[in-house]
With several copies, the nearest count.
Chain A
Amino acid sequence: MIVRPARILIVNRGEIAIRVARAVRELGHIAVGLWTDNEPGAAHLAYCDEWVHLEGHGHAETYLNISRLIELARRHDITAVHPGYGFLAENDGFAEALDREGLVFVGPNARAIRMMGDKAVSKRVARQAGVPTIPGSLGAVADLAEALAIAGEIAYPVLLKAVAGGGGRGMRICRDAREVEANFEAVQREARAAFGNGDLLVEKYIVNPRHVEVQILADKAGNVRHLFERECSIQRRHQKIIEEAPSPFIGDNEPLRLDICATAVKLARAVGYDSAGTVEFVMGEDRSYYFLEMNTRIQVEHPITEEITGIDLVACMIQAALGQPVDAPPQEAITHRGHAIECRICAEDPVTLAPTPGTVTGLATAFPQGTRFDHCLYEGLEVTPDFDPMVGKLVTRGMSRAVAVRKMHAALDGLAITGLVTNIPLHKQILADGAFIAGKYSTDFIEARRPQDGIQTQADLETIYRQLASIEAANMGL
């Protein structure tokens, strides 16, 4: 089949814009990249065929500016727009606006984005499709009696939490009816004080929760495939930093794997999904799982799925958007083989976990075979507070989890970035942690085990000497 080259505008920056541009070019299309006034030498332009100036500084003026983006797309004769992740990737208004202009949005249809973008709607759709959601009251409970009734129904432990709450405030774990009785009024008072709203929910409390998500790949011909699952339980500030595929918690339990994947496909079908997307679940100690949300875009951690399945998700996503057959076999021929791990490399203090802007003064890599490094680093890169502190994703794959872990150790040792405080020392601590090595961890891993406490923070004279030697040698013109 001869495919006419499409002009594809990438409305993003950093490593994901590079990843998309690589797929666009490989497919024979033309990658059109954007640059803004606060990042005129953006790294992703190096992978784009054409460079378009998107005037302005803040995100509202640039990567979130729908009318301006559509005007640029028109002016530069664009066929399709890839949003990457973040920014406008899950904005149904953007998808619709492009559609009205006759431009292709590289993502799912606007209706699917809208349905999955609203927490309440997505939960309702999931329940209707027979996808398990966290048991509990459908909204606020009327009083203590109703709370006790529901708690008894869904079984203890339960979470008593403020409807208006968030970020861990206004909630209490109750292990039995006595604790619900004891806490009900206190939580009500807290909620009223903190949020001005005393309404409470009752919800099943998931002990040692795991974050397990299923990759979906669908197309416009109605094929909905899953590409197995990922586990993303290593998080800090509720953000993932290490992901694995397959899930070590599911392990060899192939029936459970196929069950959760089939459940995800069921939801994707129910919303008429037609692109790459991810269905996120929380999984309890007892391996029961509940729908959390669906991400209607390509995700940061997509590479580990590519590594275990061999399928190029970004290329397939573009093919799907253009209405072409995707380069993936039918479901029954899709296999997962071996294991892949991703460590997110962030400009962030490995001990305090606070962002650390700075300028990259040097970069050197020496990786084992089977390493992939998707990144936007280069000598001279300024990591500013304007953008995501994630500067790269280090991915290793091996025939077993042990091999992938071994390769990740070597890959982290082989990644030297100077001039920037990064979380590489934290990754090394996590990779060396017994619970991580055993694959036995839940989402509270970092809070509970505090791997950051093991990081050496004393001024290390040997490292200082080596760096000064490098500076001296450069001054000598060596």
Chain B
Amino acid sequence: MRYYLMPIEGSEVVVDLAKTTVQTGGLVEFVFASPDGDPKGRQSTIYLRKIAGGYFTSMDGVRWTRIPRLTRSSKIVVGNQTYDLYRGYKPSGVGGAHEGDLVTQMPGMVAKIHVTPGQIVKKGDVLLILDAMKMENQIISSREGIIREIFVREGESLAKGRIIMELEALE
């Protein structure tokens, strides 16, 4: 079983569930591997037990860590990254933003657009103001480049993951 984890930005992560073994006493062994480089070399075993209604996992069968029971499994969060999770297939048309595309990190309303197509921007320039979570959020250019196209209007409400504009990098 292959999992595809598609982030809003950055690179996708592929994980293979190679084997599931149910032991006596409710112990389950999952063998995972990843083409992105497994922490234990080729593959890793995750042990899982249910104690007092909660799930506990272990990498070595000795040290156990609680992990919340994930009730909705369409998204997972690792650190500050949110991944859309696909089990068994790689979706088409998802996570398909190109290199230079600027994508919304959160839903919000476009308060002000500070740039126009064709404009050259420097790293750190404010491109757009997004009203979200009761605050003004400045969307800032992460590099020097030319604004190729702007896909949103002021006043428009945007879903998360929406492409805002295309920024072509300058050498």
Known contacts A354-B106, A355-B137, A461-B37; A467 and B52 CB within 8 A of each other: no
Q: Is the interface of B mostly helix, strand, loop or mixed?
A: strand
Tally of chain B residues near chain A (CB < 8 A): 63
Residue of A nearest to B78 (CB): A463
Contact between chains at B80 and A351 (CB < 8 Å) = yes
Q: Which residues of B contact A461 (CB under 8 A)?
A: 13, 15, 34, 36-39, 44
Whether B72 pairs with A45 at a CB distance below 8 angstroms is: no
Partner of A468, one of B3, B28, B50: B3
A420 and B70 contacting across the interface, CB-CB below 8 Å: no
B108 on the interface (CB 8 Å rule)? yes
B106 nearest CB across to chain A (Å): 6
Q: Are B66 and A385 in contact (CB under 8 A)?
A: no
Closest A residue to B32 by CB, please name it. Answer: A465
How close is A461's CB to chain B, nearest CB, in angstroms?
5
Q: Which of B44, B57, B73, B108 has the most chain A CB atoms inside 10 A of its CB?
A: B73
With A356-B82, A421-B82: A385-B133 Cβ-Cβ less than 8 Å: yes
| Chain A residues, Cβ within 8 Å of B56 | 45-46
Residue on B with the closest CB to A59?
Answer: B134
Q: Which residues of A lie under 8 Å from residue B132 when comparing CB positions? A: 355, 357, 385
Q: Does B68 contact A (CB under 8 A)?
A: yes
B59, B66, B75, most chain A CB atoms within 10 A: B66
Annotate A1-42 by CB proximity to B: 1 below 8 A, 0 otherwise. Answer: 000000000000000000000000000000000000000111
Interchain CB contact under 8 A, B26 and A49: no
CA distance A376 to B15 in the complex (A): 33
Interface flag for B93 (CB, 8 Å) = no
Pair B79/A457 contact, Cβ less than 8 Å: yes
Q: Which residues in B have their C-beta under 8 angstroms from that of A358? A: 75, 77, 82
With A465-B30, A472-B17: A46-B70 Cβ-Cβ less than 8 Å: no
On whether the beta carbons of B50 and A478 are closer than 8 Å, the reply is yes
Contact A350 B78 (CB under 8 A): no
Chain-B contact segment, one of A149-157, A259-267, A399-407, A411-419? A411-419
Interface check A50, CB cutoff 8 A: yes
The reply to whether B106 and A356 contact each other, CB–CB distance below 8 Å, is yes
Cβ of A388 within 8 Å of any chain B Cβ, yes or no, is yes
Please give, as numbers and ranges, the residues of chain B lying within 8 Å of A455 by CB-CB distance. 79-80
**A49-B63, A421-B80, A462-B39 known; A40+B25 contact, CB < 8 A:** yes
Number of chain A residues whose Cβ lies closer than 8 Å to a Cβ of chain B: 67
| Complex CA distance for A48 and B137, rounded to whole angstroms | 35
Residues of A within 8 A of B57 (CB): 466, 469-470
Complex contact A473–B75 (CB within 8 A): no
Q: What are the residues of chain B within 8 A of A457 when measuring CB–CB? A: 79-81
Distance to closest chain B CB from A419 (angstroms): 6
| Chain A min CB distance to B42 (Å) | 13
B117 to chain A, nearest CB (A): 25
- A121 CB to nearest B CB, Å: 26
Is there an interface contact between B80 and A41, defined as CB atoms closer than 8 Å?
no
- Distance A296 CA – B142 CA, assembled complex (angstroms): 42
Q: B167 near A: Cβ within 8 Å?
A: no
**Residue among A46, A388, A464 with most chain B CB within 10 A:** A464
Measured between beta carbons, the chain B residues less than 8 angstroms from A120 are: none
Question: Binary interface profile of A, 426-465, with partner B (CB < 8 Å = 1, else 0)?
Answer: 0000000000000000000000000000011111111111
Given known contacts A470-B69, A478-B28, A419 and B76 CB-to-CB distance under 8 angstroms: yes
Write the nearest CB–CB distance from A217 to chain B, whole angstroms.
29
Contacts of A474 on B, CB cut-off 8 Å? 69-71, 73
Interface residue? A366 (CB, 8 A) = yes
Residues of A within 8 A of B26 (CB): 40-41, 478
Instruction: For the complex, give the distance between the alpha carbons of A133 and B34 in Å.
Output: 61
Min Cβ gap A141→B in Å is 31
Interchain CB contact (< 8 A) of B68 among A351, A416, A458: A416
Contact at A366–B66, with CB atoms within 8 Å? yes
Q: CA separation between A174 and B50, bound complex, in Å? A: 60
Check if B80 sits within 8 Å of A470, measured CB to CB: no
Whether A60 sits at the interface, judged by CB under 8 Å, is: no
| Residue of B17, B53, B160 with most chain A CB atoms under a 10 A cut-off | B53
Shortest distance from the beta carbon of B159 to any chain A beta carbon, whole Å? 11
A470 contacts across to B, CB distance below 8 A: 48, 55, 57, 67-70
Asked if B95 is at the interface (CB within 8 A of a chain A CB), the reply is: no
Q: Is the CB of A459 within 8 A of B50?
A: no
Of A50, A385, A473, which one neighbours B64 at CB under 8 angstroms?
Answer: A50
Other-chain residue from A237, A378, A472, A476 in contact with B53 (beta carbon distance below 8 A) = A378
Chain A residues with Cβ under 8 A from B108's Cβ?
A: 385
Q: Which residue of A lies closest to B10 (CB)?
A: A459
Known contacts being A43-B52, A389-B133, A473-B28, is A459 close to B78, with CB within 8 Å?
yes
Is B119 part of the binding interface, using a Cβ–Cβ cutoff of 8 Å?
no
B30 contacts across to A, CB distance below 8 A:
465, 468-469, 472
Task: Give Cα distance in the complex from A387 to B132, angstroms.
Answer: 9
* B47 vs chain A, min Cβ distance (A): 8
The answer to whether B81 and A471 touch across the interface, beta carbons within 8 angstroms, is: no
Q: Is A361 an interface residue (CB 8 A)?
A: yes
Residues of A within 8 A of B107 (CB): 357, 384-385
**Contacting residue for B54 out of A46, A389, A425, A469, CB 8 A:** A46
30 A-B pairs whose Cβ atoms sit less than 8 Å apart in the complex: A45-B51, A46-B66, A49-B63, A50-B62, A357-B107, A364-B69, A378-B54, A416-B66, A419-B72, A421-B80, A421-B82, A459-B5, A459-B11, A459-B13, A461-B39, A464-B78, A466-B67, A467-B78, A468-B30, A468-B32, A469-B57, A469-B67, A470-B57, A470-B70, A471-B85, A472-B28, A473-B50, A474-B69, A474-B70, A474-B71
Query: Lowest 8 A-B CB distances belong to which pairs?
Result: A362-B68, A355-B133, A43-B52, A378-B52, A364-B68, A471-B73, A378-B53, A469-B46
Instruction: Given contact pairs A387-B133, A416-B66, enumerate 10 new A-B contacts (beta carbons under 8 Å).
Output: A46-B52, A50-B62, A366-B66, A385-B106, A385-B133, A388-B133, A462-B59, A465-B44, A466-B67, A469-B28
